[in-house]
Amino acid sequence: MKKLFLIGKSLKHSISPFIHNRILSELGIDAVYSNVELSDFVKLKEFVEMVRKDKDVVGFNITIPYKEDILEFCDEVSEDVRIIKAANTVKKKNGKLLAYNTDWIGFKRSLEDIGVDVKDKKILVLGSGGAAKACIYGLYRMGVKEVFVTNRTYEKTESIKSLFEDILKIIPVEWLKKYDFKYDIIINTTSVGMFPNIENSPFDFENYVAGIPVFVYDIIYNPLKTTFLKEAEIRGIKTGNGLKMLVYQAVEAEKIWFGGIDITSNLIAEILNECE
Ligand code: ATR
């Protein structure tokens, strides 16, 4: 039986094994996907050594906090990983480790599914971590030319600006000044509001008098309705949560590991239903 893994520091609440094993069994692929918690960089190194030796390992996914660290151990990176400098998917091919990023595709496909028009919109991204980079790259691939970005630690936004300087314009906004501008779309990529701290929100609509956005998105999927999204809905704003992004990035990873497979929209809809 072939093996696939998700690696990260804390995976207790991850629903990725459910999503992947559901796809694998539906497609009749003889493989199993399981979580491996790695406490530090040394354990990450040991994991990669195991992957290189074990001929049954097809590949693995990477989550917080190893999406950037993993690049050190990979032999080749895709074009998007070269720009984003973070990978969430690795495939073993002819003994080599190839790094991919499917987070941005998951983000893009989920926005397309919801039917959000991002072109020529004023967009604010909250956060400047790995998830923010994937979402910003996704926006770029959807034709967006400039994005406002804010983060509690301002320097990280400055580094995102230089990372993307050749492809799109980043307008860095100080965390405390984020209420000063008018946005059509706000995207939360921070962990604020995630289980168990579900009462927290990265954006206080009470403080925001510059204008009502038309759409807000939260990449968090636990809970499905964060305080940020609830507060938006009260104001009549259309919302989207991170579940679709999670499922679509998983679908893309499966396609990378097992080229030529067909994951139908019916199956995707069933999985989304079962996760809700
Ligand atoms: P990911 O890969 O999911 O983006 P990350 O790199 O750890 O994970 O990023 C988490 C994001 O949530 C960061 O933007 C972080 O802000 P800092 O760069 O200042 O750490 C943001 N974040 C986490 N806790 C926060 C809090 N209490 N208030 C505001 N932002 C927070």
Evaluate if residue 272 carries a pLDDT over 90: yes
State the CB neighbour count (10 A cutoff) for residue 36: 15
Q: Evaluate: CB of 63 within 6 angstroms of ligand 1.
A: no
Tell me, what's the ipTM?
Answer: 0.97
User: What does the pLDDT average to over 202-226?
Assistant: 96
Percent of the chain at pLDDT above 90? 98
Classify the phi-psi angles of 115: left when phi > 0, otherwise alpha if psi is within -120 to 50, otherwise beta. Answer: left
Does 67 participate in catalysis according to the annotation? yes
Quote the CA–CA distance of 154 and 150 in Å, as a whole number: 7
Q: Are 250 and 237 found together in one domain?
A: no
Residue 200 alpha carbon, nearest atom of ligand 1? 27
User: What does the pLDDT average to over 123-128?
Assistant: 98
Q: Are 121 and 249 found together in one domain?
A: no
Q: Evaluate: CB of 127 within 6 angstroms of ligand 1.
A: yes
How much distance in Å is there from the Cα of 160 to the middle of ligand 1?
14
Q: Are 224 and 262 found together in one domain?
A: no
Q: How many domains does the chain have?
A: 2
Q: Are 14 and 70 found together in one domain?
A: yes
Q: Are 162 and 218 found together in one domain?
A: yes
Q: Binding residue per annotation — 155?
A: yes
Domain of 197: which CATH number? 3.40.50.720
Question: What are 187's strand-pairing partners?
Answer: 125, 217
Each residue's pLDDT tens digit, 71-90? 999 999 999 999 999 999 99
Residue 131 alpha carbon, nearest atom of ligand 1? 4
Q: Are 109 and 228 found together in one domain?
A: yes
Evaluate if residue 14 carries a pLDDT over 90: yes
Could you say which DSSP state residue 247 is in?
H
Each residue's pLDDT tens digit, 85-113? 999 999 999 999 999 999 999 999 999 99
Containing structural domain, residue 47:
2-101+244-275
Evaluate if residue 13 carries a pLDDT over 90: no
Evaluate if residue 264 carries a pLDDT over 90: yes
User: What does the pLDDT average to over 184-190?
Assistant: 98
Evaluate if residue 139 carries a pLDDT over 90: yes
Quote the CA–CA distance of 84 and 68 in Å, as a whole number: 9
* 3-class state of residue 139 by DSSP: helix
Q: Are 253 and 167 found together in one domain?
A: no
Q: Evaluate: CB of 189 within 6 angstroms of ligand 1.
A: yes
Domain of 94: which CATH number? 3.40.50.10860
Q: Are 113 and 232 found together in one domain?
A: yes
Q: Which tokens in the block code for residue 73? A: 């151990």
Average pLDDT, the chain: 97
Q: Are 226 and 254 found together in one domain?
A: no
Q: Binding residue per annotation — 156?
A: yes
Q: Are 10 and 47 found together in one domain?
A: yes
Evaluate if residue 161 carries a pLDDT over 90: yes
Q: Whose CA is nearest to atom 5 of ligand 1?
A: 129
pLDDT at residue 111, rounded to an integer? 98
User: What does the pLDDT average to over 180-194?
Assistant: 97
Question: What are 112's strand-pairing partners?
Answer: none
Q: With beta carbons less than 8 A apart as the criterion, state whether 88 and 101 touch.
A: yes
Q: Is the pTM value of this prediction over 0.90? A: yes
User: What does the pLDDT average to over 211-216?
Assistant: 95
How much distance in Å is there from the Cα of 152 to the middle of ligand 1?
7
